[in-house]
Structure 1
Amino acid sequence: MDLLAALRSHRLVAIVRGDDPDAALKTVLTLVEEGIALVEVSLSGRAALEVIARARAALGPDAPLGAGTVLGTDDARAAHRAGADFIVTPAVSDGITAARELGLPVLAGVMTPTEILSAIRLGAEALKIFPAAQAGGPGYLRALRGPFPGLPFVPVGGVDAAAAREYLAHGAVAVGVGSPLIGDAADGGRLDELRTRACEFLDVVREMGEEGQ
Structure 2
Amino acid sequence: MDLLTALRTHRIVAIVRGDDPDAALRTVLTLADEGLALIEVSLSGKDALDVIRRARAALGPTAPLGAGTVLTGADASAAEEAGADFVVTPAVCEGVSEAKRLGLPVLAGVMTPTDIVAAQRLGADAYKLFPAAQAGGPGYLKALSGPFPDAPFVPVGGVDAELARGYLAQGAIAVGVGSPLIGDAADSGTDGGGAEALRARARGFLDVVRLPTDSGR
Same fold judged by TM-score > 0.5? yes
Looking at structure 2, the residues matched to 116 and 153 of structure 1 have their Cα atoms a distance apart, in angstroms, of 10
SS at match of 1:90: coil
SS at match of 1:108: strand
Aligned to 1:105: 105
Q: TM-score, normalised by structure 2?
A: 0.96
Gaps of 5+ in 2: none
Looking at structure 2, the residues matched to 135 and 129 of structure 1 have their Cα atoms a distance apart, in angstroms, of 9
RMSD: 1.1
Looking at structure 2, the residues matched to 45 and 51 of structure 1 have their Cα atoms a distance apart, in angstroms, of 9
Per-residue CA deviation, residues 113-152 of structure 1 (Å, 9 max, x unaligned), is 0000000110100000000011111000000000000010
Aligned to 1:84: 84
Paired positions, count: 212
Looking at structure 1, the residues matched to 92 and 216 of structure 2 have their Cα atoms a distance apart, in angstroms, of 27
Identity of aligned residues (%): 73
Q: TM-score, normalised by structure 1?
A: 0.98
Looking at structure 2, the residues matched to 98 and 84 of structure 1 have their Cα atoms a distance apart, in angstroms, of 14
- Contact kept, 8 Å, 1:24 with 1:51, in 2: the verdict is yes
Looking at structure 2, the residues matched to 97 and 169 of structure 1 have their Cα atoms a distance apart, in angstroms, of 31
**Equivalence map 1:1-213=2 (5 Å):** 1-187=1-187, 188-189=190-191, 190-208=194-212
Looking at structure 2, the residues matched to 180 and 76 of structure 1 have their Cα atoms a distance apart, in angstroms, of 26
List 4+ stretches of structure 1 deviating above 6 A. Answer: none
Q: How many Å apart are 1:208 and its aligned residue?
A: 2.8
Q: How many Å apart are 1:21 and its aligned residue?
A: 0.3
- Contact kept, 8 Å, 2:161 with 2:205, in 1: the verdict is yes
- Contact kept, 8 Å, 1:165 with 1:208, in 2: the verdict is no
- Contact kept, 8 Å, 2:11 with 2:209, in 1: the verdict is yes
Gaps of 5+ in 1: none
